[in-house]
Amino acid sequence: MAELIIFSLLHGLVYGLLLFMLASGLTLIFSMMGVLNFAHASIYMLGAYVAYTISQYVGFWPGLIIAPVVVGLFGALVERYGLRHVHKYGHVAELIFTFGLAFLIEEFVQLIWGKQTVGYHEPAVLAVPLFEMYGQTFPAYKAFMLLVSVAIFIVLLVVLTRSRVGLIINAAITHPSMVSMLGHNVPMVFMGVFGVGSALAALAGVIAGPSLGTSPGMAVLLGPIVFVVIVVGGLGSLIGAFVASLLIGMMTTFAVAIDYSFGQFFMDVGLNMDPDGVLSDLYTVTIAQLGPIMPYMLLVLILIFRPTGLFGTREV
């Protein structure tokens, strides 16, 4: 039991912080520009692929730095030559544009790197178990992922609370209409925000790639959950995104470890259920099987009982 809790906690933390690296960029872009970037997870995937290609030539470590920069620049270009063009048609059109972009990125990734998972691996120094407990090992690479995401979290925290840029961003988040009145070059700010948000997503991709596998499906695997995170946390709230990321990270990893179903529960309390009945799906399914849909169930519950999200102020 202790083993289950410790390992689920650690894996949940790694997964949750990875979610936060994506959710933070998405929230920043959404709060400042009003744009819900559907392609955010695709940019995360792009980060992994670009880093893979770089690692082929110069190894893992330079890729960790160069890939986010390259993809961040790509993001800025997308804003400049794509998004800005559709801005005049409104936020829904912008969302549809980023949806198309997500579709295109996936197709181009398949065109360039193929449909199979590519062999993007952690560096040898991290490809070892960090420690062993109750016969289970915890990989050093996961600890490295944890370290990077914590570092990013701290950097974000410091930048947002201590620096001038952070003040502007905070002002813009709480009073979106005020951005232009601050006398800043709004188009430049938008381009920068989109670029930085993309770079953050790419960094998440770079570190997730070796661990979760770098394949054209990796965007679809994480994207919808990140959207759930920012709604559950409360739109436009970075704290909310953080809490919701950890919550969902923990929830999914713990669920996977629990092989228990309602049917067993009914048996335990003395009720016998027909395992072949029409509705047997509902009680033969185990908590572990429900893991993948738990974030969405949480979303529904939040929408019904707390439409502003955990920390949000805007009603959904």
Partner 1 sequence: MSNISNAMTAGASPSFLRRYGMWLIPAIVVVSLPWLLTSTVAVAVLNQMGIAVIFTVAYNMMLGQGGMLSFGHAVYFGLGGYFAIHGVNMISDGEWPIPLPFVPLFGAFAGLAFGALFGSFSTNRAGTVFAMISLGLGEMMASSSLIFTKFSGGEEGITADRTEALPFFGVEFTTEVQIYYLIAFWVFLAVFLMYRFSRTPIGRLANAVRDNPERAEFLGYSQKWVRFISFTISGGFAGIAGALFALNYEIVTEETVNALTSGVVLLQAYIGGVGFFAGPIVGAVIFTLLQTLMSNYTEIWALYVGLVFVGTVMYAPAGLTGLIMMHVPVAMAGRMGTLTQPYARIALPALICAIGAIGFLESWHHLSAAATGEFEMHIFWMTFDFTSPITWFVFSAMFLGGLWDARRVAPAVADTYGNALHYAFTGEDQ
Helix axes 186-212, 140-162, angle to 10 degrees: 160
| Closest C-alpha to 74, from 92, 110, 96, 49 | 49
CB count, 10 Å around CB of 6? Answer: 14
Residue closer to partner 1 by CB (options 64, 294) is 294
Of residues 148 through 187, those in contact with partner 1 by CB under 8 A are none
Query: Do 214 and 208 meet the contact criterion of CB atoms below 8 Å apart?
Result: no
Binding-residue pattern over the window 75 to 114 for partner 1, x denoting contact by CB under 8 A: -------x--xx--x-xxx-xxx-xxx-xx--xx--xxxx
Identity of the amino acid at 252: T
Question: Considering CB under 8 A, how many residues would be counted as binding partner 1?
Answer: 53
CB count, 10 Å around CB of 257? Answer: 16
Of residues 15 through 34, those in contact with partner 1 by CB under 8 A are 30, 34
Q: Is 56 in the site for partner 1 (CB under 8 A)?
A: no
Task: State in angstroms the smallest separation of the CB of 6 from partner 1.
Answer: 27
Query: Do 248 and 228 meet the contact criterion of CB atoms below 8 Å apart?
Result: yes
Token pair of 61, please? 């470590």
Burial of 167-197, coded b for 16+ CB within 10 Å and e otherwise, reads ebbeebbeeeeebeeeeeeeeebbbbbbbbb
Among 155, 157, 158, 316, binds partner 1 (CB under 8 A): 316
Task: State in angstroms the smallest separation of the CB of 114 from partner 1.
Answer: 6
Task: State in angstroms the smallest separation of the CB of 5 from partner 1.
Answer: 25
CA 10, distance to chain mean position in Å, is 17
Of residues 197 through 226, those in contact with partner 1 by CB under 8 A are 220, 224-225
Of residues 239 through 298, those in contact with partner 1 by CB under 8 A are 278, 280-282, 284-285, 289-290, 292-293, 295-297
Question: Where does this chain bind partner 1 (CB under 8 A)?
Answer: 30, 34, 36, 38, 82, 85-86, 89, 91-93, 95-97, 99-101, 103-104, 107-108, 111-114, 220, 224-225, 227-228, 230-231, 235, 278, 280-282, 284-285, 289-290, 292-293, 295-297, 299-300, 303-304, 307, 315-316
